[in-house]
Chain A
Amino acid sequence: MLANRPRILSVGTANPPERYTQEEVLAKYRMPNKMVRSLFKSGHIRTRHLMLPEPDEDGIPRETQGELLAKHRRGAMMMGSQAIERALEPMGLTTADIDYLAVISSTGFMLPGLTAMFIKHLGFRVDCSRVDIVGMGCNAGLNGLNPVASWASANPGRTALMVCCEVNSALYVYDEEIGNGVVNSLFGDGCAAVVVRADPEDERHFAPRILGFVSHIIPDTWDAMHYDWRDSHGKFAFNLARDVPYVLGTHAETPVTALLDRFGLKRRHISHWLVHSGGKKVIDAIKYTVGITEHDVRHTVGVLRDYGNLGSGSFLFSYQRLVAEGKVRRGDYGVMMTMGPGSTVETALIRW
C-alpha cells in the first residue's frame, strides 16, 4: 500500500521582481496613522515582493477593483509560468508531460480560471485534467494537495502539478483602518509549484511520500478571517479578527495529534515541521500548543521574514528551504501544517 503513495518530486517558486523593505513601503505612500506605521515596524518581516502602483499626487495608491483583478491575472501569469518551469525543469519534464493540473488561488476571481489560462499560454496538453481551487485562503495549499495526492494515487505513473498562485498585492485596500494596515503590512506575492506522482520508478529520487491528511475546522470562528465587498470602498477587503492567531494555535494540537495517532507516531518521531508562515503570533501560538521549538519553525520564521505571508504556497517555500539545507535523511517524517479562514488547520504527514 505504501508503494502506491504519491511523492513530492519537485518544488519551484517565483515572486515578482520588485522587492520592498517595510520601510520602503512606508516611504512610498502617505500613511499618517501611527498604529498602522507601527505594524510595519514590528520587525518580523523585513522584505516582501509586491506589485505596487505608484502613488497619486496625494501619496495614495489608487486602484479600482478592476485594476486589482487585472493585477491578479498579470501577476499569476508571470509568477505561475516561472514557478512551473522551476518545478519541472529539474525533473526533465515539460508542461506537455503534465496529466493533471491544479491551481490554488484566493487573490482574484476569474472565469475561465487560471488552469485554462496556463494551458492556453504555457504548452500544457489540451487533454490535461484540471481543477481550480479558489477562495480557500492561506490553508488552501493542503486542501489542494489532498485531492492532488488522491488523483496521483489513482493514476499511478501519471504526473500531477499543483500551483499555488497568490498575488496578495491585488487584495490591498489603502485607508486609515488598522485592519487594512494589518493586511497591507503582512502579505506578500508569491507562487509555488509542486510535482506529485505515484510511481515505483521514482524510488531513485530522494523525495518524500505523502502519507495522509487530517483537517480541522473551527465553525465557531467562521467570521474570524473574511474577505468581502465593501460598498464604502468600491472593492473587496480582507479582515482579520484580533484573536485569530491564538485561536488557531489552541486548535492546532487536535489535528496534529489525530494525524500522528493514525500512524502510531509521537511528536518526537517528527524531524521536520513545515508550518505556514501566517504571522509572528500564529507561529508563536503553534510552538507552545503543538509543543515544537524555535528550531522546528526556523524556515517558517525565515520565509515570513523574507517574503511576508505568501498565502497558500507559503509552506512550500519552507519545504524548499528545508530540502536546500541538506539535512533531511531517508526515513525522516515531516508534518506540513497550514492555517487560514474557516477557521481551519490543515495537516499532512510526509516521509522521506
Chain B
Amino acid sequence: MRRFETLDYTESGEVAQITLSRPRTDMRMVRELTAVCDHLEDDSPCKVAVFRGADGVFSEGIDFEDFRPDTPMDIHGFNKWEKLCVRIERLPKVTVAALDGVARGGGVQLALVCDARIATPRTTLQLDEVHKGFLPGMATFRLAKYVGIGNAKRLIMQCPVVDADEAAALGILDEVCDDLDAGIAATIAAFGPIHTVSVALARRLLNESFATPFENAIGNFLAAQHRAISQSAFLDTLDKAQRSDG
C-alpha cells in the first residue's frame, strides 16, 4: 500500500484504519481517499474500515484553498466528493466512523455514509454550509433518513452545533464512548460474525429503503435474498441447524 500525504492508512488483522491527518478536505485528500477505496475493493483482505481524525478534529469539511473567487465556479469538485461518498457508502466492508472532536460540514457527511458512527463525549457536529452560502452535499438526502425531516431541516438550515449526546439522541450517532479505541473494538465485535455478502446486501436494501416504492423494493429484496441464500454462510447455518436438530 502506497504512502499518502493527507491520511494514514494501516491494516491490522481484519481492520483497515484510515486516519485523516489534515483537518480540511481538499482535492488531494479526495483523490487519496478514492485510491484507498480502490485498494479496499480490489486487494485488501480486511472486513472492516474505520475512518477517524487526528488532534481533536474528525474533519472540518471542505478546504476552500481549491477555490479562486476570481474564476468561474464549477461543480466538478463537488461531484468528485459525492462520488467518493457513494464509493465509501458501497464499500464491500463494514464501515465505522469514529469521531473525536470537531466534525463539521463534509466531516458529518462522511460519517453519514458509514455503517456505524460512534464518538467521544467532547465531539461536536455541525452542518454549517447553508450559513456559508452553499449546501451540505447529499446530506440533504441522507440526513432526514436518520433524524426525520423536521430535525434535518433544523440541522441543515439553522446550522446548530450539536454535541455528542444530542447527536446520539437524534440517531446520528450510535454510541458515545469515553475511550474511542475501546468503542471501535466493541462496535466491530457487535458486527461479528461478518458475512460480507449479507452485510452488503442488507446495507444496500436499507440505503434504498426510503427512495424505492414498495412494489419495486419487494422485487429487489427477493433478488437479494436469493443471492444471500446461495452463499456458503447461509448453507453453513442450515448445516448447523440440522446437526443440532439431529
Q: What residues of chain A have their CB less than 8 Å away from a CB belonging to chain B?
A: 43, 245-246, 249-250, 266, 268, 280-281, 284-285, 287-289, 294
Q: Decide yes or no: A280 and B227 within 8 Å by CB, A266-B41, A268-B41 being known contacts.
A: no
B222 near A: Cβ within 8 Å?
A: yes
A-B contact pairs, 26 of them (CB 8 A): A43-B215, A245-B223, A246-B223, A249-B226, A249-B227, A250-B226, A250-B227, A250-B230, A266-B42, A268-B87, A280-B219, A281-B219, A284-B219, A284-B220, A284-B222, A284-B223, A285-B226, A285-B227, A287-B220, A288-B220, A288-B223, A288-B227, A289-B223, A289-B227, A294-B208, A294-B212
Q: Nearest residue in A to B86 (C-beta to C-beta)?
A: A293
Decide if B215 touches A246 in the complex (CB within 8 Å): no
Which residues of the other chain, A, contact B219 by a CB distance below 8 angstroms?
280-281, 284
Shortest distance between the CB of A234 and any CB in chain B (Å): 36
B224 near A: Cβ within 8 Å?
A: yes
Q: What residues of chain B have their CB less than 8 Å away from a CB belonging to chain A?
A: 41-42, 87, 201, 204, 208, 212, 215, 219-220, 222-224, 226-227, 230
Which residues of the other chain, A, contact B215 by a CB distance below 8 angstroms?
43
Q: Nearest residue in A to B212 (C-beta to C-beta)?
A: A294
Which residues of the other chain, B, contact A285 by a CB distance below 8 angstroms?
223, 226-227
Q: Nearest residue in A to B219 (C-beta to C-beta)?
A: A284
Complex Cα distance, B201 from A43, in Å, reads: 25
Q: Nearest residue in B to A267 (C-beta to C-beta)?
A: B41
Q: Tell me the dominant secondary structure on chain B's binding face.
A: helix
Decide if B204 touches A288 in the complex (CB within 8 Å): yes
Which residues of the other chain, A, contact B204 by a CB distance below 8 angstroms?
288
Shortest distance between the CB of B25 and any CB in chain A (Å): 21
Decide if A288 touches B41 in the complex (CB within 8 Å): no
Shortest distance between the CB of A302 and any CB in chain B (Å): 14
Which residues of the other chain, B, contact A266 by a CB distance below 8 angstroms?
41-42
Complex Cα distance, B42 from A268, in Å, reads: 11
Shortest distance between the CB of A250 and any CB in chain B (Å): 5
Q: Decide yes or no: A249 and B223 within 8 Å by CB, A43-B215, A288-B201, A288-B204 being known contacts.
A: yes
Additional pairs, 14, CB under 8 Å, beyond known A284-B219, A285-B226, A288-B224: A43-B215, A246-B223, A246-B226, A250-B230, A266-B41, A268-B87, A280-B219, A281-B222, A284-B220, A284-B223, A287-B223, A288-B201, A288-B220, A289-B227
